Amino acid sequence: MSKESWKPGNMLYPLPVVMVSMVDGAGKYNIITIAWAGTVCTDPPMVSISVRPERYSCPILRETGEFVINLTTRKLAFATDFCGVRSGRNVDKFSALGLTPVEASKVRAPLIKESPVNLECKVRQVLPLGSHDMFLAEIVAVHVDERLMDDKHKLHLEQAEPIVYSHGEYLLCGERLGTFGYSVRKKK
């Protein structure tokens, strides 16, 4: 197989695409779509999001130090895109999209009710890295839609039809190919 050589760039795809909700000091809610989000640590549970400094949301995140990561689904795909291309400076995204803000338990930022999983986060460090500022945050609470839980209390996120972002496109997560450890599991 031959390969083309490209200039250095971020080609780590697909990525989780999430809606990050926040509230400014005056109590105004906002949502920004982030594809540059990731897991950082298990103990304490930490994540990162990266935001361009010129975005309306960046100073809010710096000022408040809190946000909620809301996982996205097939049903939220339109809202996910809208929140990424419209500025909260000009649009109340909750109202425009008919999304429901719900009071969080540990942070002032609201949960998005329509999202199947919400991660309440408190910023621990901000790293200005060039084109983006990275917000390292501790997850202080998690909320999961009970309709996605089975009788053994196992989460079935696939039932919510989660989406990912890949090179300009939103994609539905596909079929299961295996489970963790299946490559070394002994055959019965």
46-78 confidence digits (pLDDT tens):
999 999 999 999 999 999 999 999 999 999 999
Strands 37-41 and 101-102: unpaired
In a domain, 70, yes or no: yes
Percent of the chain surpassing pLDDT 70: 100
Q: What is the pLDDT of residue 47?
A: 98
Q: Is the pLDDT score of 161 beyond 90?
A: yes
Rounded mean pLDDT of the chain? Answer: 96
Q: In 3D, which of 101, 98, 93, 79 has the Cα closest to residue 170?
A: 79
The answer to whether residue 179 sits within a structural domain is no
Range of the domain at 156: 15-172
pTM above 0.85, yes or no: yes
Residue 84 phi/psi, 5° resolution?
-90, -20
Number of domains forming the structure of the chain: 1
Residue 4 is assigned to a structural domain of this protein: no
The reported pLDDT for the residue numbered 174 is 84
CATH number for the domain spanning 65: value is 2.30.110.10
For residue 147, tell me if it sits in a domain.
yes
Q: Of 107, 95, 104, 119, which Cα lies nearest the Cα of 34?
A: 119
Average pLDDT over residues 87-113: 97
pLDDT at 175: 85
